[in-house]
Structure 1
């Protein structure tokens, strides 16, 4: 747990906020009523996370570190759960190996530094698996089943797709049933039903919003079932090493093999099949919760082939650490968090701050996947308030992720002396990237005073014509 947390915190402030992280920040700073109004229109599946982050930022602030720290803490907790599951199924040595392998997987550090719900989903899904094992140890304990049901509800409230972890749990119960170990079957059914009932509103809203939010995802081909794993582990080398070690666990306890293999493999298979309908759900982010199961299996394999000496274990972990070191370094780069075309939001904010004068206004050109308005606004000083010239309603006022703009651009100009224009790309004329009706109004009354081309975007200062 401490190793995972240390790797997650190291360099946590280095990458700029990505597109999804900026959405998290934007929504978290809204009021509770505004968040609830938003999720009626879009992003209902993230409502619980947004409310959680709203409370978190109210206490700890909205710095990059503060926004990402819940994810780092969650990954640390997931490492502990993975080690406990491994110890319960394959022995303490295997559990320790699995927990340490989990810490070294690049995707773990990557999403420990992401201000989104994925790390919390990994924790909740892994904890649910551990609580299931605890409940099966004492199947007559209603409190253990209640804990399992509550954890399943949290999984669904954080991310509906992650409820596919239950497929692995069903596989374990079926395996036990075949072996005539039928205790706990009714407890599992009741707990599962109770957990699912808690997320029915999210299921209904999420289903109605799915086509709007995931329209851009294409149905996966057969190769997707293979190509997804390097993405899930954030490293092809790591994926190969962990899966190879997991294969070495085939001689270990059958119950553990059935559970971990089912949790690791069944959710991606089901999502792949479900993604050939109206909406595709096949995205590697959505199956990150399978990584602990792979780590537990790999830990069992490593512990089994090196028993009883610890030296080969240390050597194996050291080799894996060296193999993934380039990936660990890369993911901490400035533009590694899904920043479109390496847009330098912080650089744009520094440029504006350097030449800012009271009374300045701004025009941001946005559109998927660009988040120039939120990106630059995040990195600007909080006391520097730049009014947006063509803004009719902010995203919060619009109960959406996107703002609403003036339909008559010329009427929205109020005699501003200077206007900053931030556009994607590095074209010779920034106004060419501005919507036509807005560009026409700006060209009529303003002239370019200067421009600065940064990574992925351009900042231009317009001055009012005499």
Structure 2
């Protein structure tokens, strides 16, 4: 038998091996939350049809950058930064459903990773990982991670700003950390002004620390002044457009505030479980609970109060950026309750299973237009199958459901139909809605066949503008009426005779 002795490792190798374990532990802080959220957000990504807000995104990002900027002077300025970013993205990767939605999936996954890092700083390693995973399994995270709108980016920006605040509090004398923090808050405001209400929570944390370092008072004031200078022009422009864009949002009552958690989480059960775990959060320090509690509660209170004036801003999606705070508190509560990984992960898995019905609902085919289902794809399919060269189209524009954009998106790109009563496109007038022909009889060009796309199941001539209906009825006969979910696709053919349907 030959006995071999193991040589001792060089000191450098021992130090490197010792450093590898903490490095791996730090990686898990963001990698697990990122992976879980990316997997859930990517599952069923194309299952839901584009909603009307996503169709606005599609319309805007396919304009030139000059046209986008010109439109923002008239409407939707608060989403301008997102449109410009997506304009660059679509220029590189196209405008398929996957391409339009994948940036928000990545943004939500990034937000989950940042939640893990924040949780580690505030409540410890295990609480950080649990917080990131809990954030990822919230049904609303998947829902808005699969929507081509700015809200996932807002959540990410708010989370990054909060992480930079914590780094700043560790070294408040660093001008670079102050600069990074203020610039990130400016990005938050440029993405969505309402999300800047998170500053209330940040002020609470800064005030608590200012008892030890009084220089934080004047530095914070200076930061707020710089931030205000960055976002005030957009705030003034957005306020001038608010009534036009939010006229339909009702003024919130007491019930609206009570139902907010259910709506923000997109799950009554998930909201109840997360709030319960959040109430169990413990920390030997004051700032973690103060920061997260203020982050979760103060923005909704502020927005609720501000919504009792000329314009209401109280929509659950506008407060989605509070979800990381609830996840952080819930992760801390779960870590405090379960001293080991197994029971903690078992509870996370149980919560994921219990919210599966809500997750399935979030991926319903018409969820992005809920509560009114509208099947743009089915309507486009009817036209595609029965289309003949020279066909034209009339869209019901009596509502704001974007029937024109929805059907056009799902029609083959090479299939072009003359929009009979369209006088000027939204892009041509730097707006979101078109100008229609003022004298419909003058806009008819004697096309042999005209498709009429209307919302609901009403008789097509009763669903469109009366002047347009009269012009069509005087020359065309209804020869086909095909209902699809939430819409009716009808075919008119040139010729005299009594209107018929089949």
- TM bucket, shorter chain: over 0.9
Cα offset for 1:22? 0.6
Query: Contact conserved, 1:75 with 1:119, CA < 8 A, in 2?
Result: yes
Instruction: Tell me what 2:493 maps to.
Output: 463
Cα offset for 1:200? 1.8
Residues 35-434 of structure 1 correspond to what in structure 2 (within 5 A)? 35-177=68-210, 179-307=211-339, 309-339=340-370, 341-427=372-458, 429-434=459-464
Q: Deviations over 1:317-345 (max 9, x none)?
A: 11101111110111101000125631110
Please state whether the residue corresponding to 1:199 is helix, strand or coil.
helix
Cα offset for 1:123? 0.2
Aligned to 2:472, which of 424, 442, 455?
A: 442
Query: Contact conserved, 2:452 with 2:490, CA < 8 A, in 1?
Result: yes
Unmatched runs of 5 consecutive residues or more in structure 1: none
Query: Contact conserved, 1:82 with 1:292, CA < 8 A, in 2?
Result: yes
Please state whether the residue corresponding to 1:447 is helix, strand or coil.
strand
Query: Contact conserved, 1:272 with 1:282, CA < 8 A, in 2?
Result: yes
RMSD: 1.2
Q: Deviations over 1:415-447 (max 9, x none)?
A: 1111000001112x2111111100111011111
Q: What is the CA–CA distance in structure 2 between the aligned matches of 1:107 and 1:229, rounded to whole Å? A: 11
Cα offset for 1:305? 0.9
Query: Contact conserved, 2:423 with 2:434, CA < 8 A, in 1?
Result: yes
Instruction: Tell me what 2:42 maps to.
Output: 9
For the structure 1 residues 252 and 22, does the alpha-carbon distance in structure 2 shift closer, same or farther, using more than 3 Å as the test? farther
Query: Contact conserved, 2:398 with 2:464, CA < 8 A, in 1?
Result: no
Query: Contact conserved, 2:51 with 2:368, CA < 8 A, in 1?
Result: yes
TM-score normalised to structure 2 length: 0.90
Q: Deviations over 1:167-214 (max 9, x none)?
A: 00011122223x434353333332332222111221110011111111
Cα offset for 1:21? 0.6
TM-score normalised to structure 1 length: 0.97
Please state whether the residue corresponding to 1:280 is helix, strand or coil.
coil
Query: Contact conserved, 1:155 with 1:163, CA < 8 A, in 2?
Result: yes
Unmatched runs of 5 consecutive residues or more in structure 2: 1-33, 497-502
Moved more, 364-373 or 44-53: 364-373
Q: What is the CA–CA distance in structure 2 between the aligned matches of 1:398 and 1:16, rounded to whole Å? A: 27
